A and B are shown apart, each in its own frame.
Chain A
Amino acid sequence: MDAVVISRLLTAMTLGFHIIFATIGVGMPLMFAIAEFIGIKKNNPMYIAMAKRWSKGYTITVAVGVVTGTIIGLQLSLLWPSFMQLGGQVIALPLFMETFAFFFEAIFLSIYLYTWDRFKGKWTHFLITLPVIIGGTFSAFFITSVNSFMNTPSGFDFVKGKLMNIDPLAAMFNPSFGIRSFHVVATAFMTAAFIIASIAAYRLIKNKFIDDKEYHKKALKLAMTVGLIASLLAMLAGDLSAKFLHQEQPEKLAAMEWHFETESKADLVLFGYVNEKTEEVKGAVKIPGALSFLSDSNFNTKVKGLNEFKSDETPPLIIHYFFDLMVFFGVYCFVVSALFAVLKWSKKWSQYNKPLLYLAVLTGPLSMFAIEFGWFLAEMGRQPWILRGYLKVAQAATHADGLSLVLIAFAILYLVLGISASYVLIRMFSHSKAMDDVQKINERRGEV
């Protein structure tokens, strides 16, 4: 394998692994903040126990998130030195700000985790979640800004291979920054909520602690409500993204939809498979005019086809599958949470019925898959560029020796980490009864 392929593989592997923990890292603080808020407001120790248990599990995921984040931060320079030399002139600002946000979050997360009983005022401890949420959300914003810059570079003039007349703010607030960071944060909240929902639903189906039923019902209800709102926001963000791609990155949209000829009333293609040579699409569901409508809210809009672009500057056609799966999984989670909400209002059925619980168990893993596929789509969708329009991936990779060795070492590392983290998390909760924690909180209150 050549250096470019290995460098791409390794970057994909690190990011693919990191994104699991990063997504939880951004989304989960909102969940335990809400739980603690309700707990204090309603004076119900069950919600406080929820916040405690979630944040305890969170320490494990956040640890892996922090260390893998450190890896990707350095790997950028180790694997793509020429890109960082060039891009460093322009993306330093958001990268730097991301570290500040991360710093801020790290400090207050530490304080949050170790001060459960240290403050007199009952709201003080809850207030610490605010800097944690702000820090996490902003670090997502800033890092997405760096990635958006690679998709839609702006804020400089390109003169003879060098970046000149640099405007750091224009580079940071590049055209795709707003929509993409909105999408990232909304889906992170959505994923965190559905992961909680999955666990609660699983516990309601299969639980050795009968007393915990009430606790898990409350957790499921809370998670489904947040999940419903966040998935609505995520769908809105997705819709805005499609419109944005139509304007700014038409080659990505065209590759996503196997849209070869420029035409108005363009079809939306769902699933199917494609013969890359003959450009024939088989077995797909085609919705007439829907692509035009999605691009511009008008069925007559002309959508640029792939044939308009140079063949060595179009993304791989595989991204269509990632797009379909992302959308399908996202919509699935929305439908389940909407169904849950509907049943809550209906008198006839309980929202805790078995079939719905089984469907709910799937929402967490599927929304995580949607995150992964969404990032595959976003990243492979700007191939062959590393800095779209300016620097190709092939020109940016390192020439260092020992790449294959490093690839194998990191693959083993992620495997070990993934397995141990799951093991620790499962052990942490499989033998611990939620009502015991509630009991502890009650006892401590009794003493005061």
Chain B
Amino acid sequence: MDYQHIGITVLWLFLYGYIIVGAIDFGAGFFAFHAKLTKQDHIINHMISRYLNPVWEVTNVFFVFFFVGIVGFFPDTAYYFGSTLLLPGSVALILICIRGSFYAFENYGQDSKLSWLFLYGLTGLLIPAALSTILTIAEGGYIKETSNGVHLDWLTLLLSPYAWAVVFLAIISVLYISSGFLTYYANKAKDSDAYNLLRQWFLIWAIPMIIICQFVFLSLRQHNENHFNNAIGNYWWLFGLSIVFFIIAVALIFFKKAHGFAFIMILLQFGTAFFGYGVSKLPYILDPFIDINKAVVNEHMALMLVIVFILGLLLLVPSLILLLRLFIFDADYVKGKK
């Protein structure tokens, strides 16, 4: 494989990682807020915070890793995305900032406030919406290049059915993935009240999730036919697999069986769809301005980045496993005994 494909695969993996851990985190925030409003907080909030306290910071690093990596491997992305994303990017940043800090204030501080929980819960849904806009823009058609630099065409973006379909998909996926994980976590904690509530939420969100996916596909056909044809023509099997995994996951949770395996199915469901989406989009990172084959960083730097990446993983993977073993897979911790 050449450097650009190693680079984009690594970055795509990290973005996928962020989508999963981010979704769990964002959704959990919303559920915590919702439970407080409906006076169900005593059922689930202690469980959510037991999971989130140790991992929220790590979640954030996945995101940082992605955007630092993409500028490193493909410096042109800094120019094109940087020039056009000032407003949506700043909105996302402000939301992430509010969320992260008020989460800490709420959880580590002396007193808890409903307004803080509100900020925390609401931003959890707005951040995926803001960030998904960036994926939409990468589809092309919203950016104009003039002699004065590149500009984002806001009107086209706001009127685009594709853009809106992606926003809704992002929000619903967050609730779906999050409730899926928390159902597993509650089951592991042998916390039947929380389990019932979360399982119910999961089943509620599964249906709109699969419907909105079809909308995204249909509107992609309208918006970027090349991409759509490539996805359907060459990578249909990835999307087919995704639906199979989805059915297995929902069926398992519906029949209250094998929750760990069900969550793996959810991971695979999103994994196959996300990689199918990514690979069918190539060679463009930003259609038509950034072509992966032309935009890659110079060879010396690419080699160094790959070396550092491998060394970094040797350090990270054992540490992450340690973190997971201490907080996610440690039955006593999950049950609240530690």
The chain A residues found within 8 Å of chain B, CB to CB, are 56, 59-60, 62-64, 66-71, 73-82, 84-90, 92-93, 95-100, 102-104, 106-111, 113-115, 117-118, 131, 166-169, 398-403, 405-406, 409-410, 413, 417, 420-421, 424, 427-428, 431-432
Chain B interface bracket (under 10, 10 to 19, 20 to 34, 35 or more):
35 or more
The answer on a CB contact under 8 Å between A81 and B82 is yes
B90 touching A406 by the CB < 8 A rule?
yes
Question: Do B305 and A85 touch (CB < 8 A)?
Answer: no
Say yes or no: A89 contacts B149, CB within 8 Å. Answer: no
Interchain CB contact under 8 A, A409 and B100: no
- Which residue from chain A places its CB closest to the CB of B332 in the assembled complex? A118
Known: A99-B61, A166-B301. 5 other contacts (CB 8 A): A100-B312, A103-B58, A108-B319, A410-B90, A413-B97
Return chain A residues, CB-CB under 8 Å to B104: 59-60, 62-64
Min CB distance A370 to B, Å, is 25
B97–A89 CB distance below 8 A: no
Q: At the interface, yes or no: B111 with Cβ under 8 Å from chain A?
A: yes
Sample (27) of A-B pairs whose CB atoms are under 8 Å apart: A56-B108, A59-B108, A60-B104, A62-B57, A64-B104, A69-B64, A70-B63, A70-B64, A70-B93, A70-B97, A77-B67, A88-B78, A92-B72, A96-B72, A102-B61, A102-B64, A103-B61, A106-B61, A110-B58, A118-B326, A400-B87, A406-B86, A406-B87, A417-B97, A420-B102, A424-B110, A427-B109
Q: Min CB distance, B83 to chain A, in Å?
A: 5
State A150–B109 Cα separation when bound (angstroms): 39
Smallest beta-carbon distance B318→chain A, Å:
10
Q: How far is the CB of B11 from chain A (nearest CB, A)?
A: 11
Residue A68 contacts which of B75, B97, B109, B298 (CB distance < 8 angstroms)?
B97
Contact of B108 among A60, A69, A398, A399 (CB under 8 A): A60
Using A92-B75, A399-B149 as known contacts, say yes or no to A110 and B55 having CB atoms under 8 A apart: yes
Contacts of B55 in A (CB 8 A): 110
Q: Tell me if B89 and A74 are in contact (CB < 8 A).
A: yes
CB-based contact A93/B304 at 8 Å: yes
**Bound-state Cα–Cα, A418 to B112, Å:** 18
- In the complex, A156 Cα to B243 Cα: how many Å? 50
For the complex, what is the distance from the CA of A129 to the CA of B76, rounded to whole Å? 39
Task: Return the chain A residue nearest B110 by Cβ.
Answer: A427
Binary per-residue interface labels of chain B (236-271) against chain A in the complex, 1 for a CB within 8 Å, 0 otherwise: 000000000000000000000000000000000000
Q: Point out residues on B near A: beta carbons under 8 Å.
A: 53-55, 57-58, 60-61, 63-65, 67-69, 71-73, 75-76, 78-87, 89-90, 93-94, 96-105, 108-111, 148-149, 151-152, 297-298, 300-301, 304-305, 308-309, 312, 315-316, 319-320, 322-323, 326-327, 338
Q: What is the CA–CA distance of A85 and B319 in the complex, to the nearest angstrom?
A: 33
B68 engages A96 (CB within 8 Å): yes
**In the complex, A398 Cα to B149 Cα: how many Å?**
9
Residue from A66, A99, A428 within 8 A of B65 (CB atoms): A99
Query: In the complex, which residue of chain A has the Cβ closest to the Cβ of B59?
Result: A106
Contact A398 B67 (CB under 8 A): no
Contact pick for A73, options B68, B79, B101, B327, CB 8 Å: B68
Closest to A106 in B: B57
Q: Do A82 and B110 touch across chains, with their CB atoms under 8 A apart?
A: no
Assess whether A85 is in contact with B54, with CB atoms less than 8 Å apart. Answer: no
Whether A78 lies near B86 (C-beta < 8 A) is yes
B109 touches A92 (CB 8 A): no
B54→A111 contact, CB < 8 A: yes
| CB-defined contacts of A402 to chain B, threshold 8 Å | 86-87
Whether the pair B300, A167 counts as a contact (CB closer than 8 A) is: yes
Quote the shortest CB–CB distance from B81 to chain A (angstroms): 7
Q: Are B68 and A166 in contact (CB under 8 A)?
A: no
A104 touching B90, Cβ below 8 Å: no
Which residues of B sit under 8 angstroms from A400, Cβ to Cβ? 83-84, 86-87, 151-152
A84 and B110 contact, CB distance less than 8 A: no
Residues of B within 8 A of A424 (CB): 105, 108-110
Partner of A77, one of B82, B149, B152, B319: B82
The answer to whether A77 touches B81 (Cβ under 8 A) is: yes
Report the minimum CB–CB distance from A131 to chain B (whole Å): 8
Contact of A67 among B75, B89, B96, B298 (CB under 8 A): B96
Using known A-B contacts A74-B67, A92-B72, determine if residue A166 contacts B298 with beta carbons closer than 8 Å: yes
Residues B101 and A67 in contact, CB atoms below 8 Å apart: yes
> Are A89 and B312 closer than 8 Å at their CB atoms?
no
Contacts of B79 on A, CB cut-off 8 Å? 81-82, 84-85
The interface residues of chain A lying within 8 Å CB-to-CB of B109 are 60, 424, 427-428
Residues of B contacting A169 in the complex (Cβ-Cβ under 8 angstroms): 304
* Known A-B contacts A71-B97, A93-B308, A99-B64; A107 and B320 likewise in contact (beta carbons under 8 Å): yes
Q: Please report the C-alpha to C-alpha distance between residue A406 and residue B99 in the assembled complex, in whole angstroms.
A: 18
Taking CB atoms, residues of chain A closer than 8 Å to B97 are: 67-68, 70-71, 413, 417
Inter-chain CA distance A391–B69, complex, in Å, is 23
| Bound: A111/B63 CA distance, A | 20
Q: Which residue on B lies nearest to A428, using beta carbons?
A: B110
Q: Determine the distance from Cα of A73 to Cα of B64 in the docked complex, in whole angstroms.
A: 8
> Does the CB pair A71–B93 fall under 8 Å?
yes
Assembly CA distance A363 to B85 (angstroms):
42
The interface residues of chain A lying within 8 Å CB-to-CB of B61 are 99, 102-103, 106
Nearest neighbor of A7 in chain B, beta-carbon distance:
B86
CA distance A346 to B79 in the complex (A): 63
- B90 with A78: CB separation less than 8 A: yes
Q: Would B93 and A88 count as touching, CB distance under 8 A?
A: no
Q: Which residues of A contact B297 (CB under 8 A)?
A: 88-89, 92
The listed residue (A56, A71, A85, A131) touching B76 by CB distance below 8 A is: A85
Asked whether B96 lies within 8 Å of A70 as measured between CB atoms, the reply is yes
Which residues of chain A are within 8 angstroms of B54 by Cβ–Cβ distance? 110-111, 113-114
A390 to B76, CA, bound (A): 19
A109 to B96, CA, bound (A): 20
Q: How long is the Cα–Cα vector from A224 to B123 in the complex, in angstroms?
A: 42
A107 to chain B, nearest CB (A): 5
Query: Quick check: A115 and B326 within 8 Å, CB to CB?
Result: yes
Contact status of A88 and B72, CB under 8 A, knowing A60-B108, A427-B110: yes
Residues of the B chain whose Cβ atoms lie less than 8 Å from the Cβ of A69: 64
Min CB distance A104 to B, Å, is 6
Chain B residues, Cβ within 8 Å of A99: 61, 64-65, 68-69
Point out which of A60, A70, A428 has the most chain B C-beta atoms below 10 A from its C-beta.
A70
Give the chain B neighbours of A86 by CB distance below 8 A.
75
- The distance from the CB of A336 to the nearest CB of chain B, in whole angstroms, is 31
CB distance from B79 to the nearest CB of A (A): 4
Q: Is there an interface contact between A66 and B60, defined as CB atoms closer than 8 Å?
A: yes
| Nearest CB of B to A329, in Å | 28
